[in-house]
Chain A
Amino acid sequence: MVRKTIKVNYLARVEGEGAFKVVVRDGVVESAELSIFEPPRFFEALLRGRAYSEAPDITARICGICPVAYQMSSVHAMEQALGVQVTGPLRDLRRLLYCGEWIESHTLHVYMLHAPDFLGYEGAIDMARDHGDAVRRGLALKKAGNEILTLLGGREIHPINVRVGGFYRVPTRRELQPLAEKMKWARDAALETVRWVASFDFPDNERDYELVALSHPDEYPFNEGRIVSNRGLDITSDAYDLHFEESHVERSTALHSRLRERGAYLVGPLARYSLNFSRLSPMAQQAAREAGLGIVCANPYRSIIVRAVEALYACDEALRIIDAYQPPDQPAVQIEPRAGVGCAATEAPRGLLYHRYRLEADGSIAEARIVPPTSQNQASIEADLASFVGQWLDLPDDQLRHRCEQTVRNYDPCISCSTHFLRLELDRG
């Protein structure tokens, strides 16, 4: 019996600390395990007893890469619990802020974390030696996304201007205008990005995923919509717990999220794109077609193109919002604390992010639950490894290991979102 174990003990170019192990026996993949050794930080426990108004600032600290996603899911869940709705220009500004995070986060992943796999470099700084123009374009595009976050949120990481009910201070039309010029440049750079990544070589690997994303009748989803899938799931976020469950698996000791009825599923760019292609702007749709994407994409390696298309869409959408913006009368809707339960899912760059809170009468948090996207994608990441590794077994060890790493990086896993992740102890049986 020939047994071979491929191990990477510290996965590079992902956010947070993770590792994986694939066991192959007689040419057959026996097991594939993604492990997370991010120390737990117990957010759901430490949120108890805090004021409802503190949730956006505290939950932002779950992830420095996608703090806006945590702020958005928390404010929407709180607003549902408190019986208020944020509409009009305040809603548009939230969408604009999310555009900034998508541009920043997607561009970081495309240029600095993922492209080096396709072009054969250890990282973007290496890659800059031969692809200096591309790396500089990536950095400038990332910066353009960050400028939205800085102007509207106060800073790039852990923005300070988001509150339950709206914002602390809203910009004037004039303050937003300089962003429009930046976004016009950014849109061109994003289009070039789509063309650049479309020229990479992609392994021909597709899988039949259950794709889960928000879907909204009028817009590509950021903040609102029903949770839908390509296998007939179509629910509001209130029904999330009826359809999804998390299990604490002894083998990996990380919480895995599954659909109660059908098991593993996939969230993130592939799912959003495949379920919402018709809601992309015409420019983004055209760029996707030219890049060779169909209206559905089930090849996880091509997620780099989908991220580039989504970044392009986010630039286009940011421009639309800035052009149409008329400042609201008040920076936030008035809130009266009350007891209640609220939940919401929004689209973090990496996929669906679900929050649920129960509040006491004085607005203190009695219970909190947070399901980050990477927790939901764990089962699909492992299934990808199990299903793809077999075809690469002839490769030398270091190349094989690199292919496995790339397969994990397809998901842009954000392991720092560690509310649900713990130390791994492998069962060696």
Chain B
Amino acid sequence: MAAVRRKPRLAVWKFASCDGCQLTLLDCEDELLAVAEALDIAYFPEATRAAVKGCYDLSLVEGSITTTHDAERIQDVRRRSRALITIGACATSGGIQALRNFADVREYAQVVYARPDYIHSLATSTAIADHVPVDFELRGCPINKRQLVEVISAFLVGRRPVTPAHSVCIECKLRGNVCVTVAHGTPCLGPVTHAGCDAICPSYDRGCYGCYGPMESPNAPALSAKLGELGMGQRDLTRIYRTFNAGSPAFRKESERNGP
């Protein structure tokens, strides 16, 4: 008699984040019950009280590392996970909270809190891969639901997820969008931004703001020169690269090239 095969155990972990990427799993309204059939949702506190202790076959990690406690916790998560996949910009590049990396976190604490001496926060917000080996990084702020289902499906059959590393420009072409920069002079980060959102912003007459982070081989200085021709000053250039993926090497470097 064949042994009953145990369903792979899924865990969903949260670090510094908005919860939006793990919510994406609950937003898979048509697929959620099927995912629960294929996987044992063993640890997902946002969705269930039940918690299976021990090790997990697949860990989805949301959020960045901003405290010493979390820096220790991610080591424990890694030890207990066969595969560890980061979901979203916080986990992959530090998130919007990585703006502290360009400032003084003690000054930040003084601005927000009456008693900054109670605050225990690291000077930087960093990606999970800066702390432990990561098996796959899913981009986006937030991640795309379709890509999340692809990542989980690929894991279940043991193949690499198919998530194109080209730029948002290609997605615009695929959608048949008119280029907002060429046609309307709208500043757009599409040429340097990782695909995955299906070019939502240009489809809504807006320039891409880079929430999926840099593509594989971005030529940001060339884009900055073009944005400069469109009238963007240095301050705006610094701002545009310094948002939800400010901590990614390519965007950090380009933002620093344009300003302090």
Contact = CB atoms under 8 A, between A and B. Distances in A.
B236 to A, nearest CB: 8
A46 B97 contact: yes
Interface string B81-105: 0000000000000011101100101
B26 A42 contact: no
Nearest to B45: A12
Contacts of B44: 123
B111 A44 contact: yes
Interface string A89-111: 00000000000000000001000
B244 A61 contact: yes
Contacts of A405: 49
B216 interface: no
Contact of B97 (A13, A42, A57): A42
Which of A50, A155, A247 has the most B CB atoms < 10 Å from its CB?
A155
B178 interface: no
Contact of A67 (B20, B49, B103, B108): B20
Nearest to A46: B99
A244 B20 CA distance: 29
B141 interface: yes
B32 interface: yes
B26 A248 contact: no
B204 A168 contact: yes
Given A42-B111, A248-B115, A423-B67, A123 B47 contact: yes
Interface string A5-43: 000001111111100000000000000000000111111
Contacts of B112: 40, 42-45, 419-420
Nearest to A152: B204
Q: How big is the A interface, by class?
A: 35 or more
A94 to B, nearest CB: 15
B55 to A, nearest CB: 18
A123 B45 CA distance: 9
Contacts of B206: 160-161, 168-169
Nearest to B69: A423
Given A40-B121, A45-B112, A58-B243, A12 B49 contact: yes
Nearest to B200: A154
Nearest to B41: A125
Contacts of A42: 97, 100, 105, 108-109, 111-112, 121
A422 interface: yes
B18 A112 contact: no
Nearest to A248: B114
A321 interface: no
Contacts of B67: 39, 423
Interface in B33-64: 33, 36, 41, 44-51
Nearest to A143: B29
Interface string B208-252: 010100000000000000000000000010010001100000000
Contacts of B142: 64, 155, 157-158
Contacts of B239: 50-51, 54
A157 B89 CA distance: 13
A259 interface: no
B118 A14 contact: no
A56 to B, nearest CB: 11
Contact of A39 (B70, B103, B111): B70
B18 A61 contact: yes
A142 B30 CA distance: 11
B120 A423 contact: yes
Contacts of A169: 204-206
Given A42-B112, A46-B100, A416 B48 contact: no
A319 B109 CA distance: 45
Contacts of A331: 205
B128 interface: no
A61 B125 CA distance: 15
Interface string A153-194: 011111011000001110000000000000000000000000
A212 to B, nearest CB: 22
Given A58-B243, A135-B33, A123 B49 contact: yes
A113 B16 CA distance: 21
B153 interface: no
A45 B18 contact: no
B48 A13 contact: yes
Interface string B13-35: 01111111111101101101100
Contact of B33 (A50, A61, A128, A146): A128
Contacts of B115: 248, 250, 253
A122 interface: yes
Contacts of B204: 154, 160-161, 167-169
Nearest to A63: B18
Contacts of A142: 27, 29
A341 interface: no
Interface in A106-134: 108, 112-113, 116, 122-126, 128
A305 interface: no
Interface string A317-341: 0000000000000010000000000
A311 interface: no
B143 to A, nearest CB: 9
Interface string B70-81: 100000000000
Contacts of B205: 168-169, 331
Which of B27, B33, B197 has the most A CB atoms < 10 Å from its CB?
B27
Given A61-B18, A63-B20, 17 more contacts: A12-B49, A13-B45, A13-B49, A15-B46, A39-B66, A45-B103, A45-B107, A54-B243, A58-B243, A61-B244, A113-B47, A136-B33, A142-B29, A155-B197, A168-B201, A248-B118, A255-B114
When A and B form their complex, which 6 residue pairs have the shortest distance between CB atoms, in order from nearest? A64-B20, A123-B48, A45-B108, A122-B50, A248-B114, A143-B29
18 contacts: A12-B51, A39-B121, A42-B97, A45-B107, A46-B108, A54-B239, A54-B243, A61-B18, A63-B19, A112-B47, A113-B47, A116-B49, A123-B44, A142-B29, A156-B27, A160-B201, A160-B209, A169-B204
